[in-house]
Chain A
Amino acid sequence: MAGKFCVSLTHGKDDTDKATVAFVVANAAVASDKETLVFLSTEGVRLSQKGYADGIHEEGFAPLKELMDNFVKAGGTIWVCSPCFKKRKLDEGKLVGGATIVGGAKLVEFLSEGAPAITY
């Protein structure tokens, strides 16, 4: 069954439990043939930087970097909130694979096409 699915993630190292579970759910969606988007905003945008997720490993879950890599390999998309990214002075040259910096209109377009969304 085709369709879109959005996982909104607002945490990084400030809540590694939520960051991890967000990608577990995103992987379930992409594995279920959904066109799946992980939208990173506020503290979540730090996950867009290479190396940031290294070492985040919640008990009972796969390491976060592995979850993110698998998500992108499976065809998942990561969008990074532009103003959140700029506020934190992050580096465009260090984006992880599959990540694109976007503004609000891009998210509005995706959700307006009828995508359910879950937020962590």
Chain B
Amino acid sequence: MKQEAAWDAGDMGCGDLVLELRLKLKAMAPGAVLKVTATDPGAPEDLPAWCRLTGNPLVEARHPHYWIKRKDA
């Protein structure tokens, strides 16, 4: 079974969270999925918004876990 890429962001939130997330996804291949764990109370609203803004699809969200697909280059 393919190893799932995962990143535990802890309680990181707001600009710090999405800036780091952007770097993590950029380092991945297009189409790959990153499982993000983010406990920040703003994450349920913020991560879907970031995905809509950047075009990286949000595959699934079950706070504090979010599966985000790297968009095609």
User: Which A residues have a C-beta under 8 Å from some C-beta of B?
Assistant: 79, 81-83, 85-86, 92, 100-106, 108-109, 112
Ordered by A's residue number, 30 sampled pairs between the chains whose C-beta atoms are within 8 Å are A79-B45, A81-B14, A82-B13, A82-B14, A82-B40, A82-B41, A82-B46, A83-B16, A86-B11, A86-B40, A100-B45, A101-B41, A102-B45, A102-B46, A102-B49, A103-B14, A103-B17, A103-B18, A103-B46, A104-B14, A104-B46, A105-B14, A105-B47, A105-B49, A105-B53, A106-B42, A106-B45, A108-B49, A109-B49, A109-B52
Complex partner residue of A105 from B11, B41, B50, CB under 8 angstroms: B50
Determine whether the beta carbon of B53 is less than 8 Å from that of A103: no
Residues of B close to A81: CB separation below 8 A: 14, 42
Residues of A close to B45: CB separation below 8 A: 79, 100-103, 106
Size category of the binding interface on chain B: 10 to 19
Most buried by A among B45, B52, B53: B45
Determine how close the nearest CB of chain B comes to the CB of A6; give it in whole angstroms.
Answer: 14
8 further interface pairs, Cβ-Cβ under 8 Å (given A82-B41, A102-B45, A103-B18) = A83-B13, A101-B41, A103-B42, A103-B45, A104-B46, A105-B47, A105-B50, A105-B53
